[in-house]
Chain A
Amino acid sequence: MANNSGAAEKEAHLAHHFVDSEQQFEASKLGMWVFLVTEILFFGGLFVAYIVYRSWHPDLFEQAAMTLDTTLGAVNTGVLIVSSLTIVLAVRAAQINDQRQQLIMLGSTIALAITFMVVKYFEYASKFEAGMLPAGLYTYEGIEHELAPVFYSIYYMLTGLHGIHVIIGIGLISWLMVNAAKGTYHSGYFTPIEIVALYWHLVDIIWIFLFPLLYLIE
């Protein structure tokens, strides 16, 4: 497209060191994928802790998983899947220059993210009340295993770090909404929505693994 358009047509969002919008978009996306790799390895360290302790104490994980609410976990899985769909539709709305739909889809994504955190809040609150706290704070007596606090340490680190990512996502998507309301994004430039969407999908993928690994152990 940009082949025969001269310098006069250079768009405002295009940085001078890129040949055209296409190249700038691909470069941003590659940068985001490299960041996502670091994120996967960041969570990877915690998954390693999970795998090592589960291989050492399979009975502990089986017992402790019973204390987690499968229904709430499944509901949150569904909430994140729908939020992944809404943010990808926000990208699509930018591609077809539909500003209203951009705002609706970004808004729905935020609403779903908040729903996820509210469900998480109720889950945490009931765990706290029962004394299922990490490490030295653990006071629950329903699990007969001396390393029960270790399971909850791993549980809170994994779901907590994931929750922090959800909160950061809410912030990023709010920022997108402010810009979308100003009409910043259109079919020639929607890199920020695409990049944040990639981040949001990764948050979804992490939960896709956390759900069976924490809630569905038999």
Chain B
Amino acid sequence: MSLHHVLPLKTMIGTAVALFVLTILTVAVYYIDFPDPLNTIVALGIATVKAALVCMFFMGLYWDTKFNTLVLLSSLLFFLIMIGIILLDTLFRDAPFQIYG
């Protein structure tokens, strides 16, 4: 938000309520048995939606210059590069093929 944009009270309270609902949903989903990888995907999906809500409304990216959003997304890109390259190693150490002779 810019210096002269007063944060809308209703939006702030609405965001907090949405975060509460999603937290309850996360815990509720925990007690439902999805087939294996789905559990983690659903839990992380909800967490990502919550984080996006915080970034957009509490941190004001929704009203901000888009450059700040770009800065934030760049951190996610570099995190994905880091975890991606590491998993290419750690997930395939027992692979039945020999890459390095």
Map CB proximity to B onto A193-208 as digits: 1 under 8 Å, 0 otherwise: 0000110010011001
> How far, in Å, is B84 (CB) from chain A's closest CB?
10
Q: A16 CA to B69 CA in the complex, in Å?
A: 28
Does B71 lie within 8 Å of A84, measured CB to CB?
no
Complex Cα spacing A1 to B58, Å: 25
Binary interface encoding of chain A residues 122-156 relative to chain B, with 1 for a CB under 8 A from any of its CBs, else 0:
00000000000000000000000000000000000
Nearest residue in A to B51 (C-beta to C-beta)? A205
Find out whether the CB atom of B39 lies under 8 angstroms from the CB atom of A30. no
CB distance from B50 to the nearest CB of A (A): 5
In chain A, positions 25-81 with a C-beta closer than 8 Å to chain B are 25-26, 29-30, 33-34, 36-37, 40-41, 44-45, 47-48, 51-52, 55-56, 70, 74, 77-78, 81
**Chain B residues with Cβ under 8 A from A95's Cβ?**
6-7
What residues of chain B have their CB less than 8 Å away from a CB belonging to chain A?
A: 2-4, 6-7, 9, 12-13, 15-16, 19-20, 23, 26-27, 30, 33, 39-40, 43-44, 46-47, 50-51, 54-55, 58-59, 64-65, 67-68, 71-72, 74-76, 78-79, 82-83, 86-87, 90-91
- Within the complex, the shortest CB–CB distance from B1 to chain A, in Å, comes to 9
Residues of the A chain whose Cβ atoms lie less than 8 Å from the Cβ of B7? 88, 91-92, 95
A188 and B76 CA atoms in complex are apart in Å by 33
Q: Which residues of A contact B (CB under 8 A)?
A: 1, 21-22, 25-26, 29-30, 33-34, 36-37, 40-41, 44-45, 47-48, 51-52, 55-56, 70, 74, 77-78, 81-82, 84-85, 88-89, 91-92, 95-96, 187-188, 197-198, 201, 204-205, 208-209, 211-213, 216-218
A-B contact pairs, 25 of them (CB 8 A): A22-B4, A26-B2, A26-B65, A33-B71, A36-B72, A40-B75, A41-B75, A41-B78, A70-B30, A74-B23, A74-B27, A81-B16, A81-B20, A81-B23, A84-B19, A84-B58, A85-B12, A88-B7, A188-B3, A201-B58, A205-B51, A208-B54, A213-B43, A217-B40, A218-B30
